[in-house]
Amino acid sequence: MKRMLLTCIFLLVPCSRVSPKQPRKKVSFLVYIAGRNDLQPFINRNISEMKVNGSTQYMNVCVHIEDNNGSRRYYIEKNRVISANMEHPRPVPKADSGSSATPIRAFEWMVNNYPADEYGIIFWDHGYGSLGPAYLRGLRATTLLASAQMEQGLLGPLDLDLFMTSTSIPIYKAVCFDDHYKTALTCERLQQTLATICNNILGGRKLIFIGFDACMMADAAIAHLVKPYAQLMVASQQVEPGNGWQYANAFSIFQHSLPDYRALGRHLVLAYQHAYQHVMGDFTLSAIDLNAMEPVMQNIDRVAALLIRAFRIQRGKSVKEVLAVSKSRYACTHFHEPAFIDLIHFYSNLLKNIPRIAFTNVTEGKEIATSLQMELEKGIALLKNATIANAAGKKLASANGLSIYFPEGPIHPSFKNNSFARSNRWIQLLEWYRNA
């Protein structure tokens, strides 16, 4: 989910009529806005930020919006928003923003009308990482940022009480929630979307980057899902504020140059940091080099395998106790969904705690401990190499850019179905931990 700001500024974005097909440029970006939910008030704000710089000689900025007003498309120029609904200048009936077909059609429209050498896509909406449908009993979404604003003196304690009503908040898998159709882009639908875009529309080419202007998508399982389809992933480990990315600064890098994907990642993270470093203490954003993620995934599998071996010959519950301490809230960085922990922080804690593991077979245990130490050290180095840029507020100073799912309680059924869980032994480790 994104965190709702307490005061919303409704900006009316004037737009011109239909945009003609553009000449080929270096790169075209689609911002896919799934706003048929409580984030709709922030759409016009972000569109207004996009037109501060708009499309340039190097780049096209295209937007597809799904909200309660229907479906519409825009081409963004400097200080100008151009309607690109060719057959229907006004919004057309609502399409399901949680269906793979909707972003696929939007991307195809962009490619046909705004051709480029490279393409990217930003998914704009609520997000919940790699977990599936559930209902969370908790506070109104507005409460989530109220406490941060109270710290800054923008609200007092009595104001905060106004937002403390308990309610049921629907939590969907992955990203792009549609309150009208009661759907979302699940991990499976997201994978189908990206596979169709890259294989069918782009002829087997990868995207230059995938951005998630959504919460908690900087997750190892999401990185595993998207790595076949893009060079770069930009996402947050923590919940984002309702405003999300600050698009005026985010797109400014294309004013005078065409960055490579690594430079683009660094710039997007820096722009986000500049937007929030003086506003809130628990923001995060990271740029992950997806070309460097396969060794990371292999390392996670090897670490899980070694820990499973350790479970088999542990003395007492020493392995479970070491894992519990290493991932605890007191020792390891957690996020709004407490089952997500920072992977580097967890690895670092586990590395320190290996000597606390006791084995029934001392010789085999020593070999496991030595191998585990080597793999954890290697894993930290691989994760740092894959993290092009990372920004975190002072309350999350030990957030390093990528989370992993490690629940204390039962494993969420949906997690078992994602491509990450099917590709390695991490979920087996979770089961050993749960049953030990």
155-159, 231-235, 324-328, 407-411: which has the minimum mean pLDDT? 155-159
Q: Residue 36: is its pLDDT beyond 60?
A: yes
Structure-token pair, residue 371: 């191998």
Q: Which residues of 309-319 are buried (b: 16+ CB within 10 A; e: fewer)?
A: bbbebbeeebb
Amino acid identity of residue 277, one-letter, is: Q
Beta strands at 232-235 and 209-213: parallel, antiparallel or unpaired? parallel
**In whole angstroms, how far apart are CA 310 and each of 296, 358, 421?**
21, 9, 20
Residue with tokens 């460097």: 292
Helix ranges (H only) for 387-425 are 419-423
CA 142 to chain centre: 20
Q: Residue 18: is its pLDDT beyond 70?
A: no
For the chain, give every residue range classified as CATH 3.40.50.11970: 2-133+169-291
Average per-residue pLDDT for the chain: 87
131 touches 415 (CB < 8 A):
yes
Amino acid identity of residue 376, one-letter, is: L
300 touches 426 (CB < 8 A):
yes
Q: What is the pLDDT of residues 256-290, one digit of tens each?
A: 888 999 999 999 999 999 999 999 999 999 999 99
Q: What is the pLDDT of residues 305-361, one digit of tens each?
A: 999 999 999 999 999 999 999 999 999 999 999 999 999 999 999 999 999 999 999
SS (H, E, C) 331-344: CCCECCCCCEEEHH
Report d(CA 203, CA 227) in Å as an integer. 17
232 touches 293 (CB < 8 A):
no
122 touches 33 (CB < 8 A):
no
CATH architecture of 2-133+169-291: 3-Layer(aba) Sandwich (3.40)
Q: What is the pLDDT of residues 231-245, one digit of tens each?
A: 999 999 999 999 999
Q: Which residues of 55-72 are buried (b: 16+ CB within 10 A; e: fewer)?
A: bbebbbbbbbbbbeebbb
Of 192, 195, 155, the residue nearest 176 (C-alpha): 192
As to burial, measured by CB atoms within 10 angstroms (0-12 exposed, 13-18 middle, 19+ buried), residue 422 is exposed
Provide the sign of the torsion angle of the four alpha carbons 338, 343, 345, 346, taken in this order: positive
Report d(CA 66, CA 403) in Å as an integer. 29
Q: What is the pLDDT of residue 173?
A: 58
Residue with tokens 């399982």: 221
Of 174, 273, 247, the residue nearest 215 (C-alpha): 174
Q: What is the pLDDT of residues 373-405, one digit of tens each?
A: 999 999 999 999 999 999 999 999 999 999 999
Query: pTM of the full predicted structure?
Result: 0.88
Structure-token pair, residue 316: 């007492």
